[in-house]
Structure formats: C-alpha cells, structure tokens
Amino acid sequence: MIWHIRIVHLWCAALFGILLVTCTKAAEVSEITLTPSTPIEVGQSATLSVTVIGPDPQFAWEAKKGSLGDPKNRNSVEYKAPDSPGQDAVTVKVTSGGVTTIKTKVMDVIPRAAAPTNVSSAPIVVSTATVAPTTAPTNPPAPTTAPTVPPPPTTAPTNPPAPTTAPTDTPTTTPTLAPIPATPLKPILCNTLAITKNVFAGLQKVPTQLAFYFPTEGSDFKCAGVYDRFKSPPLSVRIEFKSVAGNFGGWGIGTLNGYDASKFSEICFQVYVEQPDQAFLFKIKDTKGKEPVFKEFAEKPNQWNLICHALSEFTAQGLDLSSLDNVNLGFGTETGDAILWVDEFELK
C-alpha cells in the first residue's frame, strides 16, 4: 500500500492589511480497486484499495454484507465476500485537509462453481458370441471298416533350392510432421498474485502480500506481467511511463500487516532497458509512513542490469526494517519517460 501526498499552498494576501490565509487543495481519491477483479465468489477473499493524493489522509472502511480485516485505517483492506450470492457494497471515507471524500464500490457476489461430475468413459462392449443351440447335434455313425492308410514314400522329398541372393528389404520412411507453433501467452495485470510469486519469491509466503500500481486510470502509466522477456522464467513486469506536465506513476509489492525484514542486510533486483542510463526512483516504505528514496540508473541497454542497495542506507534515513510495508519503483518529472522490465527482487 502506498500513497503520495501533494500539498498545494495558496497564499492570499488581503488588499488592506498583512493577514495571510492558507488554502489547502482537497485530496484526490481514486475509485476503489478490487484484486482479483469482480465478480467474486461467496466466501472468497480479495483486496480493496484506493490511491490518494492529499495531506495526512485518514481512512474508514465499511462493508454492507461482507467482512473486512484489520487495520481499517489504511488505503487498502482485506475483504471477505458474504456466504450468500447477490450484490455487496463497500464504502471508504477518506478525510484529508479537513475534507471527507466518499467512494463506494458495488460488487456482484456469485455462487461457487460446481465441481464437474465424473462420467465413465469406458466403452460399452456388445458380445458377438454365438448362442449355443438348445439341442445337442447328432454325431455321424462310426465307420464299419478301418480307413486305408497310404504307404510311406520310398524316397525323401526334395527340398527347394535356397535362394542365391538375400531378398532386398523395402525401406520404410517415417513422414516428417510440421512443428506446431507455440501460442504466446498474453500479458497479465501487474497486481495479480502471480506477480509476487514469480518476481519477488521471498514475499510469496507472507500473509496478505500484494502487488500494486498507481495511478489506476489514464494512459501515461502502464504496467503488465509479460512472458516474452524475463531474467528468470516465466515472467517479468514491464513498466512504461510518459512524463507529461508533472504527472507521476509507480509500481510495487507490499504487505497489509507489515513484514519483519530486520534479518536482511541487502536488497537486489534486475532491470532490463532498451536505452542507456534509464532513470527511476527506488523506494522502501515502513508501516509508519517513512519512505527513503534513491534515484537509480540502469546504465547498460539491451541487457539485464543488477541493482543492489545496502539496507543500512535506508535505515540511516529512519526506515524501520522490522515493519516493512512495501518496496516500489516511482516515476515522475525527475526520471522522464521510461520503458523497463524488472525481475528477481531478493532480500539477502
């Protein structure tokens, strides 16, 4: 979970006097995102989240039918669908700068898919045996005289001559089958569970871990799990950012309840770029909101670049490794346009 805070101060001076008034811009709150996306089955768990741009946001989540996990004063929360199908609504109230914004998401809760019924595939065998007759057949009468046995031959039969040449075997040729072309796998969303499993394997066993990205709308920032380029199979995360008028974007992997990473001393990951000296921001955030930032460069084009950081560089800026919230990459005016692939995140 992550949010960026932008504070806009508008200083208005009175025509007469020296009184200054501070005006704060209301927070920008995205629509609620459900991971995985709707529809959701009865009793199934998922993650709800919003992206907020505003000062010191406070969150209050409520579900009409389903249940929500703790804590609820964060920008994402674990949701469990009700036990009966129908519609459910989840609401979040975001208070920032003295202004409260309310967002609601209505979800379709569907019954669980029925398990397929096994149908026997054994063939039905029809007997072709002849039915025995109901009466015994009449045996022919025994002959009254013994049959005449022919005398043995006076000379041994002549065997046919052996062939002078061995028969020539007719060669058999095996037809060559044309190879069946492999169907390329389609890209997947960059915030699915498969991303953490394959890109940051060390976090896949952490409860309520999830990948995320922001903003979730617009065309200036795009990310996806792709199968056509990776450091380790089967996939990597491709990120594309277009810097326009001070915009920003980011992708990362985090946990809802924090993760104790104090036993590790270093974090490494791989970055592939097509242009030299590709810039991006590398950040680690704890559950208290502390988030040191380092500007990185992937220098070598058309190959994987190994990026490593000593975790002491982050703790020196106040990061609490015993309560790690997320690891993320950021993009903005200071990085410019970017196209890159990332893989093999590892805490060492």
Burial 219-251 (b: 16+ CB within 10 A, else e): ebbbbbbbeeebbeeebbbbbbbbbeeeebbbb
Count of all residues that appear for the chain in the document: 348
Nearest-angstrom CA–CA distance, 327 and 313: 14
Residue 97's pLDDT is what? 82
* Residue carrying structure tokens 């010191």: 56
CATH assignment at residue 90: 2.60.40.1080
Which residues of the chain have a pLDDT value below 50?
1-23, 116-137, 144
Residue 132's pLDDT is what? 45
User: Which residue type sits at 320?
Assistant: D
Q: Do residue 342 and residue 224 come from a single domain?
A: yes
Q: Which domain holds residue 46?
A: 28-110
Q: Alpha-carbon torsion 80, 225, 231, 337, what sign?
A: negative
SS3 state of residue 264: coil
Kindly report the backbone phi and psi dihedral angles of residue 2, in degrees, each rounded to the nearest multiple of 5, phi listed first: -160, 145
* 34: its two tokens: 């459900």
Q: What is the pTM of this model?
A: 0.52
Nearest-angstrom CA–CA distance, 275 and 313: 27
Find how far residue 297's CA is from the centre of its chain.
26
Domain assignment of residue 223, yes or no: yes
Q: Are 237 and 195 in contact, with CB atoms under 8 Å apart?
A: yes
Considering its fold, how many domains does the chain have in total? 2
DSSP 119: -
DSSP 4: B
For the chain, first and last CA: distance in Å? Answer: 23
* 60: its two tokens: 């209050």
Nearest-angstrom CA–CA distance, 7 and 26: 9
Domain assignment of residue 157, yes or no: no
Q: Is the peptide bond before 36 cis (omega within 30 degrees of 0)?
A: yes
| 87 half-sphere exposure, CB direction, 13 A CA radius | 4
Q: Do residue 322 and residue 194 come from a single domain?
A: yes
Q: Do residue 203 and residue 343 come from a single domain?
A: yes
- End position of a domain, from candidates 110, 133, 162: 110
CATH assignment at residue 319: 2.60.120.260
- End position of a domain, from candidates 110, 139, 157: 110
Residue 255's pLDDT is what? 87
| DSSP per-residue codes, 296-344 | EEE-STTEEEEEEEETHHHHTTT--GGGEEEEEEEESTTT-SEEEEEEE
Domain assignment of residue 338, yes or no: yes
- End position of a domain, from candidates 110, 132, 167: 110
Q: Do residue 101 and residue 216 come from a single domain?
A: no
Q: Do residue 194 and residue 341 come from a single domain?
A: yes
Residue 73's pLDDT is what? 84
Find how far residue 106's CA is from the centre of its chain.
24
pLDDT digits (tens, 9 = 90+) for 53-75: 888 899 998 999 999 988 778 88
Q: Are 252 and 211 in contact, with CB atoms under 8 Å apart?
A: yes
Q: Alpha-carbon torsion 74, 226, 281, 54, what sign?
A: negative
Strands (E), 154-277: 188-189, 209-214, 221-226, 236-241, 249-259, 266-273
Name which of 5, 47, 38 is nearest 254 in CA terms: 47
Query: How many other C-beta atoms can be found within 10 angstroms of the C-beta atom of residue 328?
Result: 23
